[in-house]
Amino acid sequence: MAHRVFNFNPGPATLPLSVLQTVQEELLDYRGEGMSIMEMSHRSKTFGALVQEAEERIKRIMGFSDDYQVLFLQGGATAQFAAIPLNLSQDGKTAEYINTGSWAKKAIAEAKKLNKPYRVIASSEDDNFTYIPTDFTIGSDAAYVHITSNNTIFGTQWQEYPDTGDVPLIADMSSDFYCRRFDPNQFALIYAGAQKNAGPSGVTIVIIRKDLLERSPEDIPTILNYRIFAEKNSLYNTPNTFGIYVVNLVMKWIEDQGGIDAIEKVNRQKAQLLYDALDASEFYRPHARKDSRSLMNVTWRLPSEELEKKFVEEAAANDLVGLKGHRSVGGIRASIYNAMPLEGVQRLVEFMKDFEQKNG
């Protein structure tokens, strides 16, 4: 049996072991085709059926209505920062953004670069993004409202999504897609880089309400045009075939676990265990405010940078890897995505208690 560590990396991140084993089994011969999925034409019937299966699972798990279409794109969430203002801006209207951290700032920067009218209607930058702002007003001339549902770097997450009325709500859900139950039909567009909770790196999932496809103008780059990719069922050009295959396996794994409610239950258990350990300690200081804490990325500091470095090194020696915090927050970050088993968090908490006893 291969040696496996508990992988707390923020993305590319841990994948379910059973998914990796299926990939290994099917790698040389996909379902009797005599070749790997990696070698197969994206125009083949077999691959077309796979794309359809993946789309159906993505919609079914969360309960998207038939008003939505799933697109598999490339370029990560970063490409979508530009694609959204290019496709969805409207004359005489202004795009609205809520700034909750690094990725939100990057999305805002792309709208600015493209000279599209935009405004930031709320921000938590005043306190180094320790919270999700809840006090804001949506303009009557808003083209759309853009939020980042979970802030990987800062460890904050929207607890409840804003009600934007008739204004299309758009969310970057790269790091918390499929971690909990919510009503997907209140969103006009959800996008996610798959490499945290939904699959491997290199696939971007976009789920768009079909009426918005009419907004895509003719004069934008084809590779970023939602309408064209929707018409071609994500096969306008060669997609990341292997990545889509793995996304489909991960979606099947979610269903096999008992669906989104079963996944959420375990996620809440894992997060509770870790936050309880942090709250019971004087040695560890959580970054995010209690009312904005993320289920997926838990961030905290130790009394000194030397101790943080020591913590990361000793944790790795105990098969707990990927715990170094992002440079803009420092400290420690444990990314506890769906595929992180409860046992991994239990082991981390044991290590934390032991480390505090020796160094506190």
How many CB atoms sit inside 10 A of residue 346's CB?
15
Tokens 């096969």, residue located: 235
Q: Is 337 helix (H, G, I), strand (E, B) or coil?
A: coil
Strands in 129-268 per DSSP E: 142-148, 150-151, 156-157, 169-172, 189-193, 204-209
What does the alpha-carbon distance between residue 360 and residue 213 come to, in Å, rounded to a whole number?
56
HEC readout, 270-327: HHHHHHHHHHCCCCCEECCCHHHECCCEEEEECCCHHHHHHHHHHHHHCCEECCECCC
Measured in whole angstroms, the distance separating CA 139 from the mean position of its chain's CA atoms is: 27
Residue 103 annotated among the catalytic residues of the structure: yes
Instruction: Kindly name the residue from 59, 116, 158, 196 that is annotated as catalytic.
Output: 196
* Cα angle 249, 186, 55; round to 5: 25
Residue 196 annotated among the catalytic residues of the structure: yes
Cα-Cα-Cα-Cα dihedral sign, residues 60, 178, 166, 226: negative
Annotated catalytic residue within 59, 103, 116, 158: 103
Residue 110 near residue 82 (C-beta atoms within 8 A): yes
Q: Which of 172, 176, 252, 270 is catalytic?
A: 172
Residues known to be catalytic: 103, 172, 196
